[in-house]
Structure 1
Amino acid sequence: MDVTRLLTRVGRGALSGIDRVELAYAEQLLTETPKARFLCRTTRGYLLLGPDGAACLLSMVKGDTPLGQADAWSRWTGRGQRPRHRAEAALRPFALDRSAHGALARLLARQRVKPIAYLNTGHSNLTRQTLAPLRSSGVRVAILVHDIIPIRHPEFGPPKQAGSFTIKLTNVASFADLVICNSHDTQRQLSDLWRGREPCPRTLVAHLGLTPMPRIAGVARDPARFVMLGTIEPRKNHALVLQAWRLLADSLPDTHMPELHIIGAPGWQSSRIIATIRAHPLFGRKIHLHGALPDTEVAAHLAAASALLYPSHAEGFGLPPIEALAQGALPICADLAVLREVLGQHVVYLTPNDAYPWSETIKKRISGNLTAPVGTVYDFPDWQDHFSLVASALGSKDAAEQEGTE
């Protein structure tokens, strides 16, 4: 399994949705697959780690293990305080094998157990330099694609991101044997992107699982408390919710105004969005900005909230609404195809382009005139179901054990 993305996340605070997926995969392999090996592309080359090295990496990612000192070269070149360099120094003693950036094929040739499957779940390290040697060495390549938002919606990312992501997906099409899609919506978009290209890799749809948050019991739910959860970036559409609070202020007395709690790590163009939040006339009284929070605090906010507001312009899967349902908060979401696929009729859908329906829906929720659309229990996606689908696509467990597959 490629854990390059997790290496880059060490010391950077709360994990994004894609980070959490890669973490779930790594933890699953550590638990269920003793022969699993973990590959990461470092600043000096590739490291191949066994279970001990992977456990060390995950502990650093989660902040359970403090970072030590970087190596002498990193300190001498002025990079000794960078978390990634300090993490790499901690991982090198665990390396079962290593190679220079241009010598991955030789590292693969030294592995005694064959065949090998390579699993990449983080949109990281999808370069020709990595994938071509894997494929030419007879390795089965499986890649999880979370979304193609940078290509379909380039306005929601840095100027060069669409081009670089297009190159990544071109490499995926060229070198992958299996592409795991987190939704049918992502699969359809990939199919459109690759239409006319031959050959194309086989695709598998496997909904992501829900990583359990602490279940908060005994918290009083406030009908006038709302949460917005997600990275602070233009795609998440904070502007619409801020406009909705202006409309609410125009139509409700101050004593009846709801509270909005905004939770999320800073993302692209976050400084502008945060400045807009802080400039809102209700900031500090009815609008609160929390930044990134640990899972326990996020769960507590959702358990006390009447609803989660999720007006995102585009999503690949959408974990926050599922996390809200797990805590008993009603998700009020943008009307996106992928959210309808994953959440069905268990949430309220609104256009992400008009604040007025959101303000009116919030007022209904406060007054108790808006309940969950259906009374049936939501069937939460399960990681074991996901992993079983992927394992079946890669080959049965019994066959893998007989062949000595890693």
Structure 2
Amino acid sequence: MSTIFLDVTRLLTRLYDGLMPTGVDRVGLEYIKRYGGHARAILSERGFSTVLTERDSQLVFSMLLASICDRNKIRAVVARGCFNRLREARLHGALLHTSHNGMEFGRYYLAMAKREIRPVFMIHDLIPLTHAEYCRPGVNATHRRRIHTALKRASGLIANSQGTLDSLAAEARHAGFALPPTVIARLASGVTERPGVTRPLPGPYFVMLGTIEPRKNHWFILHVWRRLVEQLGDTAPKLVVIGRRGWECENVVDMLERCESLKGVVIEEAHCSDVQLQAYLQHAQALLFPSFVEGYGMPLAEALALKLPVLASDLDVFREIANNIPDYLDPLDGPGWLARIQAYSQSDSSARKAQLQRLERFREPTWAEHFEQVNRFLETLQ
């Protein structure tokens, strides 16, 4: 295989800023684990890019995998990268870019062409194009530029699901672009059950996992929980909300901070370590995933891999990943969610036991399978 180049700009920036990895970041880290031993790192800013030396690439990969934030070292690496950019030669190989950051700049592709590097991007979703109402203002225009530029200039595109590929193909047709070579490579959760993990809460509880943003439907679930407290009082199950606060979530924040009936019942974990996350998931009654739209849904795969039942919105991509294993509900069916959560909170819940039986059939996508697909795809691009 020719030399692999990994754009780690987003990962290094977030490490420098002290931010916890998101789902997109975890994918990037898996690519470092798989290819980092013989890969080179690329850093970019607004389409201007530099390829780090082999030594600095290994230094950056090590910091990212260990989550070690040494800001002095990071600044020094960036400075050396900017200086070495003036002495770059043709490098040859393939770029694997696993975030959407910077893919809208034409100069980025031109620089890769001069280096004889074929750019291959992963497309996680087209939600800002298909559901702009759930995103920050202006993100739809930026993401459209990203997708259109990649359609015109990328050597290949990796989709994380059939649903994402279908959306990508539809956008290409709508915009009048030919679809470049593509492959579907589903994402693995990367979690494994750890025996003996201490239960984090004494009573029954449920988990929501993901950044707090409109499409995740936190506000709806918090209203369901307020009704649960009204009906059950002190015996109401707890809800653990894991994820940082995102954008346009003021109504959710108001509920979390000012709703008296939810205090002590809803627990917000904005900075949850991997160990804490796994403990919460392994002992919960179920994962709640009431999203209006998803490109993939990593929390779904993570929960099912840990044999945790899931109550989820009835989305095509969820069925693509999990078939009929979760219990599916309409994301606006308040009485339905209320009844199902009450049922699952009981120790003798027949509905929960039935899903646990279905869970035995779950076959989790693996990173080995993912990279087998990616490697075969790269061979076709040479």
Q: Per the shorter chain, which TM-score range?
A: 0.7 to 0.9
Aligned to 2:3: none
Pair 1:247-2:227 in alignment: yes
Match of 1:146 among 97, 120, 124: 124
Q: Taking structure 1 as reference, are residues 199 and 95 closer, same or farther at Cα in structure 2, changes over 3 Å only?
A: same
Q: CA deviation at 1:273?
A: 2.3
1:224 and 2:204 are equivalent in the alignment: yes
Partner secondary structure for residue 282 of structure 1: helix
Aligned-residue offset at 1:218: 5.2
For residue 14 of structure 1, the aligned residue among 15, 20, 26 is 20
Deviates more, 1:335-344 or 1:46-55: 46-55
Tell me the TM-score normalised to structure 1 length.
0.83
Unaligned runs of 5+ in 2: 1-5
Residue 23 of structure 1, CA deviation: 1.3
Contact 1:316–1:338 (Cα < 8 Å) also in 2: yes
Q: CA deviation at 1:327?
A: 2.7
Number of the residue aligned with 1:80: none
Contact 1:230 1:263 in 2 (8 A): yes
Of the three residues 25, 40, 59, the one matched with 1:56 is 59
Point out where structure 1 has 5 or more consecutive residues left out of the alignment: 70-85, 100-105, 401-406
Write out per-residue CA displacement over residues 218-257 of structure 1, whole angstroms, 9 at most, x where no aligned residue.
Answer: 54597721111110111111011111112222332x2321
Paired residue for 2:179, among 192, 200, 213?
200
What secondary structure sits across from 1:245 in the alignment?
helix
Q: 1:41 corresponds to which letter in structure 2?
A: S
Please show how residues 5-404 of structure 1 align to structure 2 within 5 Å.
5-10=10-15, 11-31=17-37, 34=38, 36-42=39-45, 46-61=49-64, 64-69=67-72, 87-93=74-80, 97-99=84-86, 107=88, 110-111=89-90, 113-114=91-92, 116-126=93-103, 127-135=105-113, 138-195=116-173, 197-212=176-191, 215-217=194-196, 219=198, 224-252=204-232, 254-367=233-346, 368-371=349-352, 372-373=354-355, 374=358, 376-395=360-379
Change (3 A) 1:52 1:214: farther
CA contact (8 A) 2:36 2:61 kept: no
CA 1:94 to 1:213, structure 2 compared with 1: closer, same or farther past 3 Å? Answer: farther
C-alpha distance in 2 between matches for 1:15 and 1:132: 30
- Judged with a 3 Å threshold, the aligned counterparts in structure 2 of structure 1 residues 198 and 178 are, in CA distance, closer, same or farther, namely same
Query: How far does the alpha carbon of each residue in 1:115-143 deviate from its partner, in whole angstroms, 9 at most, with x for none?
Result: x2122111012111101332466432211
SS at 2:85 equivalent: strand
Work out whether residues 208 and 242 of structure 2, in 8 Å CA contact, stay in contact via their aligned partners in 1.
yes
Residue 59 of structure 1 deviates from its aligned partner by 4.4
Aligned equivalent of 1:83: none
Alignment of 1:2 onto 2:10: no
Identity among equivalent positions (%) equals 29
Change over 3 Å in CA distance of 1:154–1:215 after alignment to 2? same
1:269/1:63 CA distance change after superposition, 3 Å? farther
Name the SS for the 1:167 alignment partner. Answer: helix
TM-score normalised by length of structure 2: 0.88
Shift of 1:211: 1.9
SS of structure 2 residue aligned to 1:370: helix
| Contact persistence 1:143–1:180 (CA under 8 A) | yes
> Are the counterparts in 2 of residues 6 and 22 from structure 1 also a CA contact under 8 Å?
yes
Count of residues in correspondence between the two structures: 368
Cα distance, 1:359–1:20 mapped onto 2, change above 3 Å: same
> Cα RMSD over matched residues?
2.6
Question: Which letter maps to 1:324?
Answer: A
